[in-house]
Structure 1
């Protein structure tokens, strides 16, 4: 047998052996099935379904993950109150009652004021700065270092943009007009307002209208024109103030049970990260697209637009600095994250005032002149 014939016969035998093995051996599970196990989670929201832009972000995350995993990773969303009350969402995640939540970190400042820095603080970052700080400014790492002590992991999953200053039953022209006012206001803004004579109230979004209607509160802030119109605040308080100096660009987050998140396959973790990033972008886009139309409708329904006076803004800014000085002196976690945001904000506004502000200011003048 020559050399060529030997190799031809060996190759033929090899093919036959391989075929026999394939016919007799059990089929191996496809790699994709091993990498994409069947997993079912529950997500509780701090928002009701009638605040649809907020709640839609949660359902978008659910749909994105389901599609990316070919239906193997399923998350069931629940509105505020369906599993736990809206302001207990993080507690449910931390305890493992549910695997994740869609919520705002500043709802939980009763545990530690550092939670406020995950959403927004008075005279803090605007929306673009917030997203930049979380994405490339080290913000996400700093927040999650803090949250790990609560068995939580978070990802930005929404931003409303700068909010309105809220609805008031009477005009607020001076600091003295704030004295004795009962106002629904969340986060550290409540502590700042308290220095100005306000009695702050923390009330879940779904309960605000009833409290305002009954006179339990005299004023409320919520988000902005789109949500405020749907919630009907103009019917019970006509003075609509701006801006919400306490929420220049508040982040909404997806909170995950840290142990559950770490136990996921890396591919599922990536799906969640991508889904949250998409929801984060889309929420801000939806508010930008809908607020102008809603504002026109609110004015037609009787809303009286009023800017906060310079006196109130200056007094609020001063009070905010006093609050921060007090907290940073006794809370190392807060100081670490607050200092990072402050440094980022200083550079942010150094740049913003050059091109963005100049361009936007010129275009706003054209809008007012009717020449756009």
Structure 2
């Protein structure tokens, strides 16, 4: 009897260890608060948990693990397993994906932004670029064209942006500089204070961020059609952590990406964009619309020179820059 009880006890103990061994918890570093920009990560966590009966969970933190500008560094050392960041925060660390932030590319929908981003992420040179940080690209965070919420006298023409201090990262900053503005790169969590204190007079954001980070609480006008471009903000995972997953857990994660992105795009289009117009109206924010002739001149001044400079700079780094640029523009032209 004692032998039988001993065997039963050992079996139960072994089962407990096995169950514990099967459980997997990843830490995910985001920032700000839950908003449209993070809904695909939230959905991914839900799908992964459902598919694994709770054995694999994504523990999402909004700012508790790292600064947003340091998320790629955190991934590289394994401080957490998954993170979101924006390419423009540190262009030198991820030069290959900054092709997606060039001004006036002409992307006209979140669906197209998703398709082009995933194609770029699949390119061997891009994968090698991010591998330097032990990072594997999983999915983009497709965003619409950026526009400016500003304070003070509303611009009547693009010439009024001369000397205008604006928060604008990546290619958007390059574009704004082409019309005489003074772009400043800062993380999203810093912009409200910068706008309130007068460090900047305007902020370039997608609609969800203008609402989430409070620029419309201070802003007095909004450009409806400047549309200089957007930013590219991928979700990445630590490569060692990904490789360490069981086949079932890896499939639960990677096999849920498409559904998570479908959910994200539907949420952004139906929720955020429907709220944007009423949010402006409630606050009496003036809409500023520029004539097409001025916008055409803006594009001509910014797009070609920025693209050529990007190709030259990144070819010198050893990247197939022309090939990456042609991949992006070729897909847009289809």
TM-score bucket of the superposed structures, by smaller chain: 0.7 to 0.9
Moved more, 310-319 or 333-342: 310-319
Counterpart in 1 of 2:329? 342
Aligned-partner Cα distance in 1 for 2:128–2:300: 29
After TM superposition, list the pairs within 5 Å mapping 1:197-236 onto structure 2.
Answer: 197-224=180-207, 226-236=208-218
Q: Does 1:153 align with 2:130?
A: no
| Structure 2 CA distance for partners of 1:68 and 1:241, relative to 1, 3 Å | same
Which runs of no fewer than 5 residues in structure 1 stay unpaired?
1-25, 348-372
Asked if the contact 1:102/1:252 (under 8 Å) is kept, the reply is yes
Asked if the contact 2:111/2:265 (under 8 Å) is kept, the reply is no
Q: Deviations over 1:24-57 (max 9, x none)?
A: xx89x99xx79x8322221101x311x5222333
Shift of 1:230: 4.3
Shift of 1:87: 1.4
Counterpart in 2 of 1:284? 265
Aligned-partner Cα distance in 2 for 1:199–1:205: 17
Aligned-partner Cα distance in 2 for 1:229–1:134: 25
Counterpart in 2 of 1:87? 69
CA-atom RMSD, angstroms?
A: 2.7
Larger-Rg structure: 1
Q: Which of the numbers 41, 44, 47 marks the counterpart of 1:61?
A: 44
Q: Does 1:294 align with 2:271?
A: no
After TM superposition, list the pairs within 5 Å mapping 1:53-202 onto structure 2.
Answer: 53-80=36-63, 82-117=64-99, 120-124=101-105, 125-126=107-108, 127-135=110-118, 137=119, 139-142=121-124, 143-160=126-143, 162-169=144-151, 170-202=153-185
Give the paired residue count.
311
Aligned-partner Cα distance in 1 for 2:235–2:38: 12
| Structure 2 CA distance for partners of 1:157 and 1:115, relative to 1, 3 Å | closer
Which runs of no fewer than 5 residues in structure 2 stay unpaired?
1-10
- Using structure 2 for the length normalisation, give the TM-score: 0.82
Counterpart in 2 of 1:48? 32
Q: Deviations over 1:77-118 (max 9, x none)?
A: 1113x121111111111222111102333322143543323x
| Structure 2 CA distance for partners of 1:244 and 1:95, relative to 1, 3 Å | farther
| Structure 2 CA distance for partners of 1:164 and 1:86, relative to 1, 3 Å | same
Give runs of ≥4 in structure 1 deviating > 4 Å: none
| Structure 2 CA distance for partners of 1:252 and 1:282, relative to 1, 3 Å | farther
Counterpart in 2 of 1:308? 290
| Structure 2 CA distance for partners of 1:157 and 1:114, relative to 1, 3 Å | closer
| Structure 2 CA distance for partners of 1:87 and 1:130, relative to 1, 3 Å | same
Shift of 1:172: 2.4
Aligned-partner Cα distance in 2 for 1:243–1:279: 29
After TM superposition, list the pairs within 5 Å mapping 1:217-256 onto structure 2.
Answer: 217-224=200-207, 226-243=208-225, 245-247=227-229, 251-256=232-237
Asked if the contact 1:55/1:79 (under 8 Å) is kept, the reply is no
